[in-house]
Chain A
Amino acid sequence: MDNQPTAPRTALSIRGLSKTYKGGLEALRDVNIEVNEGEFLVILGPSGAGKSTLMRCLNRLVEPTAGAIFHQGREITSPKQNLRDLRRQFGMVFQQFNLVKRVSVLTNVLTGRLAYRSAWRSLFYSFPQADKRIAVECLARVNMEHKAFQRADTLSGGEQQRVAIARALAQQPAVILADEPVASLDPKIARQVLNYLKQISRELGITVLCNLHQVEYTREFAERVVGMSRGTVVFEGVSSQLTDEVLHRIYYRDPGDADREDAE
C-alpha cells in the first residue's frame, strides 16, 4: 500500500536498549526500533510490557542500563547530551494528563516554553509575548483556545488531554511521546484525542510515538506498529499485519515460555 517516492528518513534509532530497575525488575531487554521521520508509530502491548519505560528512556526521565538511542544521527543517551536541549525536542503526553490543576489552561500550555527561558525570568512568572502567541496558537490547534483563562480543573478529561497536547506542542518538538494518552477516556473522546495527535503528526511533520494497550485503536490509527511483551519487541509491521497469531504473541506469550521465565 505504501508507495512513497523516497525511502523515509530515520528520526529515532533505538539500539540494544535495556533497562533493569534497582529492585531487579527487567523492564526492557535488548530493544531495537527504528522510527521514521514524521510517522505515527503505535507501541502496542499489555501493562508491564515496558512501553512507558521505553518512552522515558527517550527523554531520559529514566536512564537506560545498556544500549543507545540516536535522534537524527546524534546519540542522545551519551553523558555529554544536555538534558534541557534534549527534552525540549520531545513533547510528552501522559495517561493522567498531568496538568497543574489550580492554574489556568494558558499557563499550563506556557509551561511548555519553560525550557527556552531563563530561571531568572520564571521567578516572576512572566513569559515573553512571543511565547504567549505560541501558546494560544497551540491551544487553537486542539480547539481549546476558548477556555484559555479557565482553571485546568474545570475541564473534562478529554479537554484536559487536549490542553496537555497543546503544552507538548508549545515546546515546538520534533517528537511527541504519548504514554497511554487515552487509557482514562471513554471511546468517543479517546478517538477524538487520537485524531488530534494524528493530525498534528501529519500537518506539522512531528514524529509521534504512541503507547496503547487497545488493539482497536491501534488498527484504526497506527501507520506502523511495534508490539511489545515482557520488555522485548515481539512484532514490527503495519496494522493490517496484526493477526490473531501476532496478538497472541503480544498479549499471551507461549505459556511454557512464561513458566520458564517466572521460575527464573
Chain B
Amino acid sequence: MAAPNVSAVASGMPGADRILRELQSRKTWRVHHLLLAAAAIAFLTWCADAVDLRPREVIYAIPVIGEYFARMWPPKWQFADNLWQPAAETIYIAVWGNVIATLIGLPLGVLAASNVTPSGVVRNGAKAILNLFRSISELIWAIFFVSAVGLGPFPGALALGMNYGGILGRLYAEAIENVDRGPIEAMQATGAGRLQVILFAIFPQALPQFVTYNLYWFEVGVRSATVLGMVGAGGIGFELVTAIRLFEWREVGVVLLLILGMVTVIDFASTYLRSKIY
C-alpha cells in the first residue's frame, strides 16, 4: 500500500483552524515581554543611581590599579619561605571548616527537607537556623570566634563551618528533596523506620550531590580562608594584610601569586574528583 498523502490527511481535521487561531492570539504575550524588559531597565537604572555608578572614573582607576601591580614586580621570591606554613594552615582551615559545615549542615538539611520532615514547624525551624548561619558572613563569624576562643586557625575553621554549614544545609535539603520517591516508598513498605529510610533510601541517592557540593565549597573555602587572617583567624591572610600595611608590595605580589597557585591546583583536583563521582 502506498503511503497516504500527508496534506490530504491533514486537511480533513476540523479542529485545526480553531487551534491555529488560538496560536495566533497567543502571540499577544510579546507585549508582556516588552513591559518586563522596560521594568528591568528601570530597576537597573535606579540601582545604578543608588550605588553611585560613575563609568568614566573606571577608566581613571585602571592606571592606579596597574600601578599597584607594577609595584609588586619583581616579586620578592625569598619571602615565600615565610609563607609555606601559613599557606598550609589555610588549607587545614578550609578542610576543617568543611567538616564542621557538614556536621552542621547534614542534620539541619535533613530536617529542612520536605520529603523527610512532615512537620512544618520543625522544617521551618531548621530553615530559620540555616538562614541565620548563612546570612552572617564567615568574616563576621571569625570576628565573633576570635574574641570567643582566641587568635589562630581554630576560630577560622569555626567561622567557615558556621557560614558554610548554613549554605551546605540548604543545598543538602534540596538534593534530598530531589531524590527518586520510589525507593523511599519501597523502604517504608518493608517496615523500615524513618532513620533507616534516610540512611538506606535517601543518602545513597543524594550522595553524589553531597560530595559535589562539599568539594565546591572546599574550593570556595580555601579562597575565603585567605582573608580570614585579616581578622586574626589564622592562615595566609595575616601575612597578606601585614605586607600591605608595611607597603611591602613585592611581598604582596608573592602572597597573591601563591594564593593563585593554591586555588588553581585545588580547582583542578576538585574538578577531577567531581568527574569521578557518578
Contact = CB atoms under 8 A, between A and B. Distances in A.
B196 A114 contact: yes
Contacts of B248: none
Q: Which 7 A-B pairs have the closest CB atoms?
A: A115-B191, A87-B191, A98-B182, A98-B186, A114-B192, A92-B189, A88-B191
Given A84-B191, A88-B190, A119-B195, A94 B200 contact: no
Contact of A84 (B182, B186, B193, B204): B193
A85 B191 CA distance: 7
B204 A87 contact: no
Nearest to A117: B196
Interface in B187-244: 187-193, 195-196, 199-201, 204-205, 207-208
Given A94-B182, A98-B182, A100-B200, A119 B188 contact: no
B209 to A, nearest CB: 11
A155 interface: no
A66 interface: no
Given A94-B182, A98-B183, A61 B200 contact: no
Interface of A: 59, 61, 83-88, 90-92, 94, 96-103, 107, 111-112, 114-115, 119, 122-123, 125, 164, 167-168, 171, 177
A99 B183 contact: yes
A91 B200 CA distance: 17
A245 B199 CA distance: 50
B195 A122 contact: yes
B189 A87 contact: yes
Contacts of A94: 182, 185-186
B188 A87 contact: yes
Given A114-B200, A123-B195, A125-B199, A96 B189 contact: no
B196 to A, nearest CB: 5
Nearest to B194: A119
A107 B196 CA distance: 13
Contacts of A84: 191, 193
B242 to A, nearest CB: 47
A119 B183 contact: no
Nearest to A111: B200
Contacts of A119: 193, 195-196
Contacts of A171: 190-191
26 contacts: A59-B189, A61-B188, A86-B191, A87-B189, A87-B190, A87-B191, A88-B190, A90-B189, A92-B186, A94-B182, A97-B182, A98-B183, A98-B185, A98-B186, A99-B183, A100-B183, A100-B200, A101-B183, A102-B204, A103-B204, A111-B186, A111-B187, A114-B190, A114-B192, A115-B192, A122-B200
A61 B192 contact: no
A52 B146 CA distance: 59
Interface residues of B, number: 20
A100 B205 contact: yes
A164 B191 CA distance: 15
Given A94-B185, A122-B200, A111 B190 contact: yes
A96 B183 CA distance: 9
Contacts of A114: 187, 190-193, 196, 200
A87 B186 CA distance: 11
A111 B205 CA distance: 15
Nearest to A99: B183
A107 B201 CA distance: 11
Contacts of B189: 59, 61, 87, 90-92, 177
A102 B205 contact: yes
Of the candidates A83, A119, A123, A125, the one having the most CB atoms from chain B within 10 angstroms of its own CB is A119
A102 B188 contact: no
Given A87-B190, A94-B186, A115-B193, 12 more contacts: A61-B185, A87-B191, A88-B190, A94-B182, A98-B185, A99-B186, A100-B183, A114-B192, A115-B190, A115-B192, A171-B190, A177-B189
Contacts of B195: 119, 122-123
A112 B187 CA distance: 8
A119 B192 CA distance: 9
A114 B199 CA distance: 11
A184 B192 CA distance: 26
Nearest to B206: A102
Interface string B46-83: 00000000000000000000000000000000000000
A102 B200 CA distance: 11
Given A119-B195, A122-B195, A100 B190 contact: no
A168 B187 CA distance: 10
B200 to A, nearest CB: 5
Nearest to B189: A92
Contacts of B192: 111, 114-115
